Structure 1
């Protein structure tokens, strides 16, 4: 593979350990070092990632580049974890281990952003179908920032002690990559970290804003498939069959009561039927129907309550239509599932003062209004059974003037994530994302961390 040009760690170290007078003139020398690195190499790397996106569990080229870059800063690198995941251990003496994660997959979307560097890539997906590919969620900024953070930390080893576990995670868009890495023995093979951090670039927030809040960070998400078995018949003689379309309609309407009549009014939940397929001709009653659902919640107990309710409703409809038990609708919770992502309160209490002192009140925000029920499989790295406290941050990605105009209604709406028109300011996103990752490590592994633990 051709080597990418990048700012050497020795030069970074010189910038980060500049004379006191120079540091006095710049209250954030770390930011200046990251900016220099962006101009010399990170921008080029981002453009390469954006032009060459890869689908979930198909990120071989992307993973190889990240692995090469992590080796260049002295990390012990293992590839192929959870299919295409990369683990890089940067060791620096005794101390805790902190997991720093970035997701790297694109989406099967044809880019129409109008950007000069827009993707024209195509790739065969897991289903064997050739599809357009686009970084329509900012993962290209995440992995660029991960590399930037690795370089900075390699040049700052006098300021922290311990181990940084860099994770380039596949298949976040299928919310399956983190689970795959864990099932491949991530913590058994490389050690259970003491902390875990990650960030996501957001088009809904302006450049220069960093959100780090305790508690709920992302909702749970479960992809649920229901197969309904019927008895085929002529459309003119419906009494001779059992219509799976009618049964599907009964299930769909009953599902609408799950949130409104099963959950407390103070609990959040979503059950959406996104697909309903059955039959192939006007006058034939099919013997099969397929439903596809997405199920969301903000609490793992609520999640189980909704999933149990779906199973109960499906079975009841089968019984109500006179089918034997072995022909009742089948409910399958798919691989694309993740629990709720919760930011650890104690970890937030440790990070917030340090981040506020470093970034200032204008940058750091310690609360976030929920705008929908998006999910994030970072949850697997910090699930309750792991006992790993985690912090998932949000980094603003939209230029402030465009964001303010959209908020005031005087400018166009900001394209959403997963849209073919999606675009964020890479420079602002990568600079702040890199700086947040580095600050997280310095706060938890720096010289003052021992007294705080």
Structure 2
């Protein structure tokens, strides 16, 4: 199963020589973010870079996905995955390499993911005399919509490029750079994103009595939805119901016909998911009826993510290898997170174990210190106010370029060599 720490340390010796070019590549991706399904420039940049390393590269898999294969003798097939889409957010970091695309930003670190995978593929290609097997590198589009992984699978990913024996993936996280965290079992929540349109009857703002005001209906619905988690989910269970958008009307003195809500729901079990979705439907319908609406609300699904489940044994082995390289005190179990990820689709579709982990990318100074291990202890004891720290999906989320790239490349390289056969 393992090619040993010696092989990892040998491969990592090449990292010093590529740090500069990786940082330049990262800044370029960050400056030119692209939304889910439209990652054409990003895919081209990735494909050109990886093709130059000697991998067999195929573009356009599942849309804009890129697949790179390096066969190196008999042994396991290891799938290493990075996503590379951005978000519709106006960047406010003030960085000299901030997004040049108005209203679009790499606010979730996917540019860092792609850069680190390229770095790992470089080291693995240069160290192929120390391992045997096949590397199946997947650069995935459209993670933010929950569609990219399934689109690549549906496009014949495994039929065309082989079925993996293990699936490995990582994600940036808003904790101090130098820390790596992974959790066996259920590691990330399922997501259901819904669009709800409430239908009223519009009219002049001076005569509300002859209308059915969808704005008031929407406001009441938003407030009532907050009771699902607080009053219907047990204290030892977990769920999140967020109304991320409410849109209605065009002018202050016009009562509109409709109001639109967009919801994001996070759950960890099928039972809780069913309960929350039923509660949303009940509340939305009841508020419309209470307002005297003549038409029932319309509900449609925007996107869904399945629960991400890490294989316990695979995660334990991979994290143990991280401990050998980073130091055991820098590797921890963050527990399950309410964030969602579609990387697990690759594992379930291939019937392969999954190991998905997170690595910190923020300046320790943001946490009021310099030592990530000490900061971790303070976080775990509740001594750090995490609400003051920029997180993913915010306009100020800014990974430090280094040593984040070094940590991410090291983690991917270590994980891959943990599962590839020794030469």
Please confirm whether the aligned pair reaches a TM-score higher than 0.5, indicating the same fold.
yes
Q: Counterpart of 1:43?
A: 23
Measure the CA separation in 1 of the matches of 2:279 and 2:350.
Answer: 28
| 1:36 match: secondary structure | coil
Q: Counterpart of 2:357?
A: 393
Q: 1:288 aligns with which of 232, 235, 258?
A: 258
Larger RCO, structures 1/2 (Cα 8 Å, 6+ apart): 2
Report how far residue 240 of structure 1 moved.
4.9
Q: Counterpart of 2:181?
A: 211
| 2:317 match: secondary structure | helix
Asked if residue 332 in structure 1 is aligned to residue 300 in structure 2, the reply is yes
Cα separation, partners in 2 of 1:36 and 1:413, compared to 1, 3 Å: farther
Q: 1:179 aligns with which of 135, 146, 150?
A: 150
Superposed counterparts of 1:133-148, under 5 Å:
133-148=104-119
Q: 1:31 aligns with which of 12, 20, 41?
A: 12
Q: 1:64 aligns with which of 21, 29, 44?
A: 44
Q: 1:151 aligns with which of 122, 131, 138?
A: 122
Q: Counterpart of 1:356?
A: 323
Measure the CA separation in 1 of the matches of 2:215 and 2:366.
Answer: 47
Q: 1:429 aligns with which of 389, 400, 404?
A: 404
Q: Counterpart of 2:379?
A: none
TM-score (norm 2): 0.85
Measure the CA separation in 1 of the matches of 2:66 and 2:77.
Answer: 17
Measure the CA separation in 2 of the matches of 1:266 and 1:194.
Answer: 35
Asked if residue 229 in structure 1 is aligned to residue 209 in structure 2, the reply is no
Q: Over residues 142-186 of structure 1, what are the superposed CA-to-partner deviations in whole Å (9 max), with x where a residue is unaligned? A: 111111111111122233222211111122233332233233333
| 2:226 match: secondary structure | helix
Superposed counterparts of 1:305-324, under 5 Å:
305-318=275-288
Measure the CA separation in 2 of the matches of 1:114 and 1:284.
Answer: 39
Measure the CA separation in 1 of the matches of 2:233 and 2:390.
Answer: 33
Instruction: Report if the CA contact (8 A) 1:217-1:343 is conserved.
Output: yes
Q: Over residues 392-412 of structure 1, what are the superposed CA-to-partner deviations in whole Å (9 max), with x where a residue is unaligned? A: 1111212345544396779x9
RMSD: 3.1
Q: Over residues 55-84 of structure 1, what are the superposed CA-to-partner deviations in whole Å (9 max), with x where a residue is unaligned? A: 322221111121122222222221112221
Instruction: Report if the CA contact (8 A) 1:78-1:88 is conserved.
Output: yes
Asked if residue 160 in structure 1 is aligned to residue 131 in structure 2, the reply is yes
Q: Over residues 122-160 of structure 1, what are the superposed CA-to-partner deviations in whole Å (9 max), with x where a residue is unaligned? A: 2xxxxxxxx343333322221111111111111222332
Measure the CA separation in 1 of the matches of 2:201 and 2:368.
Answer: 57
Q: 1:272 aligns with which of 236, 239, 242?
A: 242
Q: Counterpart of 2:61?
A: 81
Q: Counterpart of 1:368?
A: 334
Cα separation, partners in 2 of 1:180 and 1:112, compared to 1, 3 Å: same
Report how far residue 317 of structure 1 moved.
4.1
Bigger Cα Rg = 1
Q: Counterpart of 2:169?
A: 198
Cα separation, partners in 2 of 1:228 and 1:158, compared to 1, 3 Å: same
Instruction: Report if the CA contact (8 A) 1:104-1:168 is conserved.
Output: yes
Instruction: Report if the CA contact (8 A) 1:314-1:331 is conserved.
Output: no
Q: Over residues 82-128 of structure 1, what are the superposed CA-to-partner deviations in whole Å (9 max), with x where a residue is unaligned? A: 22111112112233322111111233334343433x22412xxxxxx
Instruction: Report if the CA contact (8 A) 1:228-1:290 is conserved.
Output: yes
Q: 1:98 aligns with which of 57, 78, 89?
A: 78
Instruction: Report if the CA contact (8 A) 2:186-2:308 is conserved.
Output: yes
Cα separation, partners in 2 of 1:254 and 1:200, compared to 1, 3 Å: same
Measure the CA separation in 1 of the matches of 2:16 and 2:273.
Answer: 43
Cα separation, partners in 2 of 1:415 and 1:250, compared to 1, 3 Å: closer
TM-score (norm 1): 0.80
Size of the aligned set, in residue pairs, is: 407
Q: Counterpart of 1:418?
A: 393
Instruction: Report if the CA contact (8 A) 1:31-1:431 is conserved.
Output: no
Cα separation, partners in 2 of 1:141 and 1:240, compared to 1, 3 Å: closer
Cα separation, partners in 2 of 1:63 and 1:250, compared to 1, 3 Å: same
Instruction: Report if the CA contact (8 A) 2:86-2:105 is conserved.
Output: yes
Measure the CA separation in 1 of the matches of 2:219 and 2:232.
Answer: 20
Q: Over residues 348-394 of structure 1, what are the superposed CA-to-partner deviations in whole Å (9 max), with x where a residue is unaligned? A: 133233333343313322x1156x732222233234x6533211111
Report how far residue 267 of structure 1 moved.
1.1
Instruction: Report if the CA contact (8 A) 2:201-2:293 is conserved.
Output: no
